[in-house]
Amino acid sequence: MINKKQSMFALIAVISLIGLDIIFMLIRISEYGVESNPWPTITIKMLFILYLCRGFSAVLRLKQLKLLELEKERIDKEKKQKTPVSEQKTGNHTKFMPEDHSGYLPDE
């Protein structure tokens, strides 16, 4: 599975790069003027940023799901390690109850 910290870093990097591209585009427009209308391009880039920001909650949710999965695996592992009471080996009880139990049957 992909490391969540790397996913978060990649998401931040992409959003930052698109934001910087918009800023540099506005600086270039202010210095040199425009050849064509830049607003459709800026609007599309802003929409990309908007939808990429939704990825933060998705990455955090994936992290929570992974933690829950790890906790469930830990609990299952503990359950497997514990021997059921019916299968547990106990000490030698022959001093209390001999192997031949016929002496403990009620007389008829």
- The answer to whether residue 98 scores a pLDDT higher than 80 is no
Residue 89 lies in a domain: no
pLDDT averaged over the chain?
A: 80
57 belongs to a structural domain: yes
Name the pLDDT band for 97 (thresholds 50, 70, 90). Answer: low
Q: pTM of the entire structure?
A: 0.56
Q: Total structural domains in the chain?
A: 1
Residue 65 lies in a domain: yes
Per-residue b or e along 36-71, where b marks 16 or more CB atoms closer than 10 Å to that residue's CB: eeeeeeeeeeeeeeeeeeebeeeeeeeeeeeeeeee
Which residue has better confidence, 90 or 70?
Answer: 70
Terminal-to-terminal C-alpha distance of the chain: 70
The answer to whether residue 54 is domain-embedded is yes
Number of H helices, E strands in the chain: 2, 0
72 three-class SS:
helix
106 in a structural domain:
no
Residue 102 forms part of a structural domain: no
Q: What is the pLDDT of residues 5-23, one digit of tens each?
A: 667 888 999 999 999 999 9
In a domain, 40, yes or no: yes
Cα–Cα distance, 42 to 22 (Å, whole number): 6
Whether the pLDDT of residue 106 is over 80: the answer is no
- Using pLDDT thresholds of 50, 70 and 90, give the confidence band for residue 81: confident
Q: Please report whether residue 26 resides in a domain.
A: yes
Q: What percent of the chain has pLDDT over 90?
A: 32
- Domain span at 46: 4-73
